[in-house]
Amino acid sequence: MADVLSVQALSKQYGATIALRGVDLGIRRGEVHAILGENGAGKSTLVKLLSGVVEPDGGSLSLDGAPYRPASIRDARRMGVSTAFQELSLVPDLTVAENMLLPKVSTGRFWPESLASIIRRGRDLLERFDVHDIPADAVVSDLSLAQRQRIEITRALSHARRLLVLDEPTAALPDTGWLFSQIRRATGDGVGVLYISHRLSEVREICGRATVLRNGSSIGTVALEGVDDAGIFSMMVGHRPEAEKRTALRPNKGAEVLLETRNLRGGLLKGVDLSLHAGEIVGVAGLEGQGQQALLRLVGGAMRPGGGEIIVGGAKAMLTSPQKAQRTPPGIVFVPEERKTEGIFDTLTAAANIALAEFATGGRERLVNGRAERLLARQSAERVSLSPRYLDFEVGNLSGGNQQKVLLARALMTGARILVLFDPARGVDVGTKQSIYQMMRHFAELGGAILFYSSELPELVQLSSRCLVLYDGRLAAEVPQEALSEARLLAAAHGHGERPTNDLRMAV
């Protein structure tokens, strides 16, 4: 069958950084084609080139046989190519309907269309793509991350006549049912789909072929049926990953208690008792909206409790801000969910971002010395295996995985003994995941304690020395390490009486 999109020797350079150095791929009409690669392999650049955000330096793109060189998002849409972006491109204070129809919302020629009529059209669009639970007149900033992601995808679907680009479409979705049925409908109409995801199981479920990128080059295109996961990993990283190993940390009930909560409430959290001992990694599992976010924010000082107590280092503590939490001995540091908005300074260098913690806690009157900053940053960077060559980069130019490393390095820099991490390995590649895991284990071995939430079950099973399962704002179960399995966690996460289904995954 003819290719709807064909890409030849595509290259793109940002200043001295080569983002793409030669990508070849072809997407057939009606095919779902996966792009696999570590963070920094060039996936985001490829997405930007295809959607018209940036223009290529070399190589050629063709769409249905005709040269394709979009100068803008609108240009790309006109030619039937649209993208659901990973970072979600919705305008917060507009309604869902307006966002769906941007940038030409009003159809009125001489008089602007009424909001009621715009919302009616938005509703029709939502209905067309089987989105029934999100009102078209809701304001986007009131929606959950999962709902926003579906709106982002729906908008892309509504413009995709030839090619649909989905960049991590399931990062925030609780299940893939709706997405996959919409994808199948689009491919049934002959639309080609370029699908990017870190979740191999779902890639295998929906995609026929995959093109693997490494270091900005396409390594090859494979039929997914003919290759196992290890084979794909080895294409992605160039070597086989070491076998998955579980945390060797044993829970030690005799160890010092660093943090306790008593009947802690707030947000969706309805009362949780937990204790965190030195040297353990406590995982938190739960379906979307069971209070895990509130729990971690409360313990991290990013939210005020609605009741209950937090006891840090043996004394009752009022964690009124993350800064206060950091200064309450033995120190709590919180790495939040949305790194883009809640923690990182895009325009500072990686080194400055890391050393910030030291300068922020060390004292007010000290001047920032560039060399001291670099030196400090380098030590922490090593612990999260962030390559020192990135230290001088502006953080905004780093890949998602490296940004996460920068945040973790900063957290380590504070010298706090309690780490609170919200989905620390979300949306990062296999290699980065492993170095994050390693850092976490090392931290606990040195006598620190970690409380972390993860949306991925294997991660919880692999890392936790015990795992707390939240359901409806309360602890539904505490699973010790020897009993940890994905099935066990999934069952507990569903509360009582329900059996886990196979396609349901944990979600943020």
Partner 1 sequence: MTNQLAMSTAPHSRRLPNLKVLAESALLIVLIYAVMAVVYVSVQPSALSPYAIEALLNNSLPLMLAAAGATFVILQGGFDLSVAGIISLVNVVIAVMPVDGPLGALANLGVALSIGIAVGAVNGFLVAGLRIQAIAATLATMIVCQGAALLILGAPGGYVPDFMVYDLTGSVFGVPVALVIILAVIALWSLYRRTDAGRNLLAVGQDRKAAGLSGINVERTEFFSFVWAGAFYALAAYMLAAQTSTGSPSAGEPFLLLSFAAVALGGTAFGGGRGGVTASLFGAATLTLMQKVLFALGVSSFYTGVIQGLIMILAVLFAAAVRYAVRSRRVA
Which residues would be at the binding site for partner 1 (CB under 8 A)?
53, 72-74, 77, 85, 87-94, 98-99, 102-106, 112-115, 133-135, 137-139, 142-144, 146-147, 155, 268, 287-289, 472, 494-495, 498
In the complex with partner 1, which residue's Cβ is closer, 167 or 423?
167
By DSSP bridging, strand 307-312 and strand 257-266 are: antiparallel
Closest approach, Cβ 76 to partner 1, in A, equals 9
In the complex with partner 1, which residue's Cβ is closer, 40 or 52?
52
d(CA 470, CA 324): 26
Closest approach, Cβ 490 to partner 1, in A, equals 13
Q: Cis peptide leading into 103, omega within 30 of 0?
A: yes
In the complex with partner 1, which residue's Cβ is closer, 136 or 282?
136
Enumerate the β-bridge partners of residue 235.
none
In the complex with partner 1, which residue's Cβ is closer, 268 or 318?
268
Closest approach, Cβ 292 to partner 1, in A, equals 12
Closest approach, Cβ 285 to partner 1, in A, equals 16
In the complex with partner 1, which residue's Cβ is closer, 13 or 117?
117
Structure tokens at 242: 């070491």
d(CA 234, CA 247): 23
What is the C-alpha end-to-end distance of the chain, expressed in Å? 39
Closest approach, Cβ 58 to partner 1, in A, equals 24
Closest approach, Cβ 70 to partner 1, in A, equals 11
Closest approach, Cβ 154 to partner 1, in A, equals 13
Which amino acid type is present at position 501?
A: T
Closest approach, Cβ 108 to partner 1, in A, equals 8
In the complex with partner 1, which residue's Cβ is closer, 244 or 498?
498
In the complex with partner 1, which residue's Cβ is closer, 65 or 396?
396
Residue matched to tokens 């307006």: 98
By DSSP bridging, strand 3-14 and strand 163-167 are: unpaired
In the complex with partner 1, which residue's Cβ is closer, 93 or 338?
93
- Whether the CB-CB separation of 100 and 125 falls below 8 Å is answered with yes
In the complex with partner 1, which residue's Cβ is closer, 24 or 113?
113
In the complex with partner 1, which residue's Cβ is closer, 114 or 347?
114
**Residue 11, H or E segment:** strand 3-14
Closest approach, Cβ 177 to partner 1, in A, equals 13
By DSSP bridging, strand 281-285 and strand 217-223 are: unpaired
- Whether the CB-CB separation of 493 and 471 falls below 8 Å is answered with yes
Enumerate the β-bridge partners of residue 13.
18
Cβ partners under 8 Å of residue 334, min gap 6: 296, 297, 299, 300, 301, 302, 322, 325, 420, 422
In the complex with partner 1, which residue's Cβ is closer, 115 or 311?
115
3-state secondary structure of 3: strand
User: CA nearest 343: which of 417, 388, 427, 404?
Assistant: 404
Closest approach, Cβ 265 to partner 1, in A, equals 14
Closest approach, Cβ 362 to partner 1, in A, equals 30
**Residue 14, H or E segment:** strand 3-14
In the complex with partner 1, which residue's Cβ is closer, 77 or 209?
77
What burial letters (b/e) apply to 257-273, b meaning 16+ CB within 10 Å? ebbbbeebbbbbbbbbe
- Whether the CB-CB separation of 281 and 247 falls below 8 Å is answered with yes
Structure tokens at 130: 């089987």
Closest approach, Cβ 302 to partner 1, in A, equals 15
Structure tokens at 230: 């290890």
3-state secondary structure of 350: helix
Cβ partners under 8 Å of residue 306, min gap 6: 265, 266, 267, 269
- Whether the CB-CB separation of 226 and 233 falls below 8 Å is answered with no
